[in-house]
Every structure is written in structure tokens, then in C-alpha cells.
Chain A
Amino acid sequence: EAQVTQNPRYLITVTGKKLTVTCSQNMNHEYMSWYRQDPGLGLRQIYYSMNVEVTDKGDVPEGYKVSRKEKRNFPLILESPSPNQTSLYFCASSLAGLAGGTSSYEQYFGPGTRLTVT
């Protein structure tokens, strides 16, 4: 089954304790991205990756790191989490990047990770 998986689905942690949220897709997609969703603010892009070893900042990258060492995986790293990073996080992937070509640019989203930082 074609899908994007995220782990963990729920996480409660304390300020300053480094954590990683994993994201994996089995569709051989080139483009992957991370979003956070907060009430009243909607989905905001954190980072995106065009392909292996190619990443760039989205709208809210502060406090986050990413890496893309393999095409299927795109982990989100919070080196020193703070309470303002409490949010619902989504990983997404699409076949190709968002520009050019005839792709539908359809984004496939994972199930989400609800993170609470106390």
C-alpha cells in the first residue's frame, strides 16, 4: 500500500530533550516536506527536500533540523524542544517537485505526530 508513515504518533517530552520524528514513504517520491498545524494558523511548512541531500527552509524553520540521506526517509529533528513547538506535525511527499512538468503535484500526507513539550 502506498503510504507515508510517521513515528511516533504521539509524544510528550520536556523542554530541551532532543527528539526525532521519523517520516518514510514507499512511493519513490522525490519531494518531501514537513508541516506543523496549529489552531488558527493552519498548516505551515517547516522544511522541504527536493531529493537526497537537497533540503531548504520553509516558512517556520527555526528550532528544527532535517536531513535527507535516503530518498524514502526525511526525519525531523528538534535539538532542544521548547513549549512553543507543541503542535501537530505532518510529513508529506509528492512524486516530483512543485514546479515544472505535468505532475499533479499532489501531496500525500502522513497520519500526523502530536507533540507536546512541557
Chain B
Amino acid sequence: SQKIEQNSEALNIQEGKTATLTCNYTNYSPAYLQWYRQDPGRGPVFLLLIRENEKEKRKERLKVTFDTTLKQSLFHITASQPADSATYLCALKEGFQKLVFGTGTRLLVSP
């Protein structure tokens, strides 16, 4: 089954900088990959989906890339703000109807 690797160490950056989070997977490339945001004690919230035939997807200050050769997705937040501090999860479809999540990377944006 798929294994998803996200950096377990927290990422600390200064406000205004670009945060880049990594999601690596081990097996076949999925039809799509999703990114979610999770705040402490709350359910994940969907942010973006990128399909296997898309190289890049943008939404406001968010950008996601998908490299099926490297088996990697990068999630960027430009002009980061303290309110962006949260844990970010990547998820990909496995098989027909299962969704597999990574353990997430915690982002801390300091003023």
C-alpha cells in the first residue's frame, strides 16, 4: 500500500516569507493528490487538489506542484502570515475508493 512521507519536524518561518512543505509517496502515482489544513483539536479542511496530469495548481497565496517522476508534491504558501500556522496534510487516493493521509507537517509562522 502507499506510504506517504511528510516532514514530521515543524517548519518555522518568518511572516512574509514563502513556506514550502513536501509530500513524498512511495508507490504508483495516484490519480490526484489533495492538501488539507488542520488546526489543533479540529477536523481537516480541504485546500487544494492536483491531478496527475497537472504540474501546478494555484489558489490565492497557495500553490501546489505535482511531480510524478520524483513522486512528490510541494505545497507553497507565499507571503505567509501567523494565521497560516497549522498542520498541513497531504492525501492521495489509493485503489478505488480509499484515501490515504500523511502524518502532516506543522507550520509555525512568527511575526
Complex CA distance for A100 and B49, rounded to whole angstroms: 14
Interface 1/0 per residue, A87-101 and B, CB below 8 Å: 000101000011100
Q: Out of A50, A104, A107, A112, name the residue touching B99 (CB < 8 Å).
A: A107
A33 contacts B by Cβ under 8 Å: yes
A48, B97: Cβ atoms closer than 8 Å: yes
Instruction: Please tell me which stretch of A35-43, A62-70, A71-79 contacts chain B, meaning at least 4 of its Cβ atoms lie within 8 angstroms of it.
Output: A35-43
Q: Out of B41, B46, B97, B104, name the residue touching A56 (CB < 8 Å).
A: B97
Q: Which residues of A contact B46 (CB under 8 A)?
A: 104, 106-108
A45, B98: Cβ atoms closer than 8 Å: yes
Q: Which residues of B contact A90 (CB under 8 A)?
A: 43-44
Chain A min CB distance to B77 (Å)? 19
Given A99-B93, A112-B42 in contact, is the A40-B103 Cβ separation under 8 Å? yes
- With both beta carbons as reference points, the residue of chain A lying nearest to B41 in the complex is identified as A112
Number of interface residues of A (CB under 8 A): 29
B104, A111: Cβ atoms closer than 8 Å: no
B101 contacts A by Cβ under 8 Å: yes
Complex CA distance for A44 and B3, rounded to whole angstroms: 12
Complex CA distance for A99 and B26, rounded to whole angstroms: 20
Q: Which residues of A contact B100 (CB under 8 A)?
A: 45, 59
Task: Name A's B-contacting residues (CB within 8 A).
Answer: 4, 31, 33, 35, 40-45, 48, 50, 56, 58-59, 90, 92, 97-99, 104-112
| 11 A-B pairs (CB sep. < 8 Å) | A31-B97, A42-B104, A59-B100, A97-B97, A98-B93, A99-B93, A104-B49, A105-B49, A108-B46, A109-B43, A109-B45
